[in-house]
Amino acid sequence: MADMAIFRDIEGSIDEPLNKRQKLRTYDLVPAQALNAMGVSRIESISLPALKDLVSAGNKAAAFFSEYADPDPARQGIAISRMAQVMIEVIDRLGGDIAKKVLNEKVLEEASKEAIALKPYLVTLNGGMNTTTTSNSMKYASKIQNVAPSVENIKKAAGFVCEWLNKSDSYLRALLAFLSGGGLYFAAACHEKTSRAFMSAIPKNKFIEAAVARLSKETHKEEADDMGMFKD
């Protein structure tokens, strides 16, 4: 199935370890696994059933790419908290002045209505993980809320967010999909900014020389595979 190519190393190998890690590292998560640093990730168009299968399959090192696939409900809750944390960041950014200047007024208005209704429940489900502390010694202690939410509040928050996730139409979801562009805009911004970062060391004439050296038929050997070192 073509969708199986969205993540790396999905087939594993004969050297696959007997015990794949279930406590996921940052680079095991879907955003890291799906990102295409040179274009659009297929996370943008993959079907939900296919995505679920891929996430559950993991690779030769990780048992899965999201704790949603863990059989332990408490571990599944980690995935919920991860989603809540990053959604809170998105909602806060949508409320800034820049968003008002660059986004369509109608779309921003409708997405903001959803966001305002959603955020309190996301904060509950975040479990206190959205901390601004910079102290390494307090890193984990600061993640614990002073007052744990009641079971009733957790149920209410989870129910509201679940209903939102299952909505067939959502301005906020559509806006997320467009702004992410399957990671394309992030990848492009990284490459563009990196180019600017090196401009002090690469003056215009050297920039031009580099382009000519890379692309001119007189200097570039067609048989050389510049990307070969990264291929399996």
Domain extent at residue 167? 2-183
Give the pLDDT band (50/70/90) at residue 210.
confident
What does each C-alpha distance from 219 to 207, 215, 216 come to in angstroms? 15, 8, 5
What pLDDT is stored for residue 190 in this prediction? Answer: 92
- Does residue 58 share a domain with residue 142? yes
What pLDDT is stored for residue 159 in this prediction? Answer: 96
For 190-200, what is the mean pLDDT?
A: 90
- Does residue 165 share a domain with residue 217? no
- Does residue 225 share a domain with residue 125? no
- Does residue 49 share a domain with residue 25? yes
For 36-40, what is the mean pLDDT?
A: 92
Average pLDDT, the chain: 82
Give pLDDT tens digits for 107-139. Answer: 999 999 999 999 999 999 998 554 444 434 344
- Does residue 108 share a domain with residue 53? yes
DSSP code at position 39: S
- Does residue 190 share a domain with residue 179? no
Predicted confidence (pLDDT) at residue 166 exceeds the cutoff of 50: yes
- Does residue 84 share a domain with residue 37? yes
What pLDDT is stored for residue 109 in this prediction? Answer: 94
219 Cβ contact partners less than 8 Å away, ≥ 6 residues apart: 212, 213
- Does residue 63 share a domain with residue 108? yes
What pLDDT is stored for residue 89 in this prediction? Answer: 94
Region at 17 (left for phi over 0; alpha for psi -120 to 50; beta for the rest): beta
Give pLDDT tens digits for 1-37. Answer: 455 456 655 444 445 555 899 999 999 999 999 999 9
What does each C-alpha distance from 217 to 206, 212, 214, 221 come to in angstroms? 18, 9, 9, 7
Report the number of distinct structural domains present in the chain: 2
- Does residue 194 share a domain with residue 116? no
Give pLDDT tens digits for 75-98. Answer: 999 999 999 999 999 999 998 888
For 187-196, what is the mean pLDDT?
A: 91
- Does residue 75 share a domain with residue 91? yes
What pLDDT is stored for residue 148 in this prediction? Answer: 78
What does each C-alpha distance from 146 to 44, 79, 150 come to in angstroms? 38, 22, 12
What pLDDT is stored for residue 12 in this prediction? Answer: 44
- Does residue 31 share a domain with residue 132? yes
Q: Give the C-alpha separation, 36 to 78, whole Å.
A: 25
Report the predicted TM-score, pTM, of the whole model to 2 decimal places.
0.75
Q: Give the C-alpha separation, 126 to 85, whole Å.
A: 6
Collapsing DSSP states into helix, strand and coil, what is residue 62?
Answer: strand
- Does residue 76 share a domain with residue 26? yes
